[in-house]
Structure 1
Amino acid sequence: MAVTHGDFVWYELMTTDVKGAAAFYAAVLGWEAADSGMPGPAYMLFSNKGALVAGLMDIPPDAAARNTPPNWSGFVAADDVDASAAEVTRLGGKIYRAPDDIPGIGRFAIAADPDGAVFGLFKGQGEAPEMPGLGTPGHIAWRELHAGDAAGALAFYSKLFGWEKREGLDMGPMGVYQLYGKKGADYGGMMTRTEDMCGPMWVYYVQVEDIDETARRVAANGGTITLEPMEVPGEMWVIQARDPQGALTAMVGPRPRS
């Protein structure tokens, strides 16, 4: 399916130890990391069986000056990055990095929604590559927003990207887990965060083939499990963890031996 405005198109890990992070995700997910060859600050590329998955870089000085911790971020396709950045501000969000060019790659900006959850805008040069389908092992399968206010967040992103309100799942005391998507597909879920949740922030789930084995690898390679395997609809299980540098990461997959 071709990439259009409002699609997630890229993911990026900013960290305090690029080498250590590369080793962790290689051991846990089988990803390979290689230098991108781009000029300027070092930028690594994570790949999964030859297919690009995400970028990896040191926390830039401007972000470090804001005491930004290691974190994962997602980039959403914009037909016009400058126009979308202006729309972010008009809708009550904030621009942390004004639209800028990556020579030979595309144009991007770093933004935050009105609650403070950070995301990126991106428009590539040339024809965009096809993205792996949801459920492809080793790739991002779900994008979850821990929002200050889920209803307000959905309204913001719907105006900005055209995302649609889809099924809402009643989670009892935790409130409604609101699915969102586009083109007839679910992209992820949003929920109003509880006091014990990190956030407001985005969490990205990598599809794995065995959630228990993945959790074991996380612990064996210096990570810390923050959410033990929890069952979700579709006969799937999820975990959340901190990598050795402290970035929140998450995985989704079956329990083959259960």
Structure 2
Amino acid sequence: MADASNFIWYELMTGDPAGAARFYGAVVGWTIADTGEQTAGGVDYRMIGRSDGGNAGGVLALNAEMIAGGARPIWIGYLHVADVDAAVEAIKADGGAVQMPAMDIPVGRIAMVTDPQGAPFYVMDPIPPEGGGESDVFSVTEAQRVRWNELATSDPEAAIAFYKKHFGWGQEGEMDMSPLGAYRFLQRGEVMIGAVMPLMEGYPVPVWNFYIGVDDIDRARDAVTANGGTITSEPMEIPGGEYAMNAIDPQGAPVGFVGPRK
């Protein structure tokens, strides 16, 4: 792949969109609509609004049929590809699996897949918005956006090779997490977008975990617990002087937060 693919959207799948709206509104400052737009397939979908007027992603309401089919509360990312059908076939050929076949939606063409180790994500060829411009749902610095993309996987070496091949990412640098192993950094061009780590306690299956930017990590920590969430790892200092923590939202979706200590 000539050009490195970017995360262009993030989606929260949850059985309680109203509860998620209260939680993320208090912790992050987002606004999520009280009612969703019914898509062509009858799915309740709600946009996540930032304070600056932009969107941070979307909320998909899990219905009874989805839950019966094994769907669970989770954050999932969308990776940009030029050709969804070709990307799906290439991913399948390298050991990945298709969770939702390619389909057209009003904003582009998408498919849900897993990497060879089982971590789910979407591939998407979006219809460019009026006026053009790239998606801004990911930022390495800004609050109310995803700031870090972390893959916990059963085979870091194979996963890195997979994402380098199919999405053009780089992998340079690592941090020792003894005795767990290496925390290996991922780059899209010159931008460090996340990392790959071995599976550890609390991650029963390979999964992408996303760290959302907050204005104050201690305020956010208090808001997590006050609004029904559970802290799974307390704020810890990361390179650069900010702090990161992990939590589970009230509906059961794992999520990370990152920001300064004020």
TM-score by length of 1: 0.92
Partner Cα separation in structure 1 for residue 66 and residue 175 of structure 2: 35
> Aligned with 1:174: secondary structure?
coil
Label 1:109 to 1:61 Cα distance change in 2 as closer, same or farther (>3 A): farther
Query: Match for 1:124 among 122, 126, 147?
Result: 126
Deviations 1:187-211 (A, max 9, x none): 1000111244343101000111211
Q: Which amino acid aligns with 1:26?
A: G
Deviation (angstroms), 1:114: 0.9
Partner Cα separation in structure 1 for residue 8 and residue 65 of structure 2: 24
Residue of structure 2 in register with 1:42 after alignment: 44
Query: Match for 2:142 among 136, 141, 149?
Result: 136
Deviation (angstroms), 1:25: 0.8
Residue of structure 2 in register with 1:192 after alignment: 198
Listed as ranges, the gaps of 5+ residues in structure 1 are none
Structure 1 residue 81 and structure 2 residue 81: aligned? Answer: no
Residue of structure 1 in register with 2:18 after alignment: 19
Residue of structure 2 in register with 1:6 after alignment: 5
Contact 1:5 1:78 in 2 (8 A): no
Contact 1:146 1:198 in 2 (8 A): no
Percent of aligned pairs sharing the same letter:
38
Contact 1:226 1:240 in 2 (8 A): yes
Deviations 1:87-113 (A, max 9, x none): 11011010100100102x100000101
Query: Match for 1:114 among 113, 116, 122?
Result: 116
Within 5 Å, which residues of 2 pair with 1:86-105?
86-103=89-106, 105=107
Within 5 Å, which residues of 2 pair with 1:197-212?
197-212=203-218
Query: Match for 1:231 among 227, 237, 243?
Result: 237
Label 1:61 to 1:89 Cα distance change in 2 as closer, same or farther (>3 A): farther
Partner Cα separation in structure 2 for residue 63 and residue 191 of structure 1: 29
Contact 1:5 1:76 in 2 (8 A): no
CA RMSD of aligned residues (A): 1.7
Partner Cα separation in structure 2 for residue 10 and residue 79 of structure 1: 15
Q: Which amino acid aligns with 1:31?
A: W
Deviation (angstroms), 1:18: 1.1
Listed as ranges, the gaps of 5+ residues in structure 2 are none
Deviation (angstroms), 1:20: 1.0
Label 1:95 to 1:145 Cα distance change in 2 as closer, same or farther (>3 A): same
Partner Cα separation in structure 1 for residue 56 and residue 44 of structure 2: 17
Residue of structure 1 in register with 2:29 after alignment: 30
> Aligned with 2:11: secondary structure?
strand
Moved more, 213-222 or 189-198: 189-198
Label 1:185 to 1:62 Cα distance change in 2 as closer, same or farther (>3 A): farther
Contact 2:4 2:169 in 1 (8 A): no
Moved more, 40-49 or 10-19: 40-49
> Aligned with 2:179: secondary structure?
helix
Label 1:239 to 1:20 Cα distance change in 2 as closer, same or farther (>3 A): same
Contact 1:143 1:202 in 2 (8 A): yes
Partner Cα separation in structure 1 for residue 167 and residue 123 of structure 2: 10
Residue of structure 2 in register with 1:162 after alignment: 168
Contact 2:9 2:135 in 1 (8 A): no
Deviations 1:116-153 (A, max 9, x none): 11111011113554333321111000000001111110
Structure 1 residue 58 and structure 2 residue 61: aligned? Answer: yes
Partner Cα separation in structure 1 for residue 39 and residue 252 of structure 2: 26
> Aligned with 1:82: secondary structure?
helix
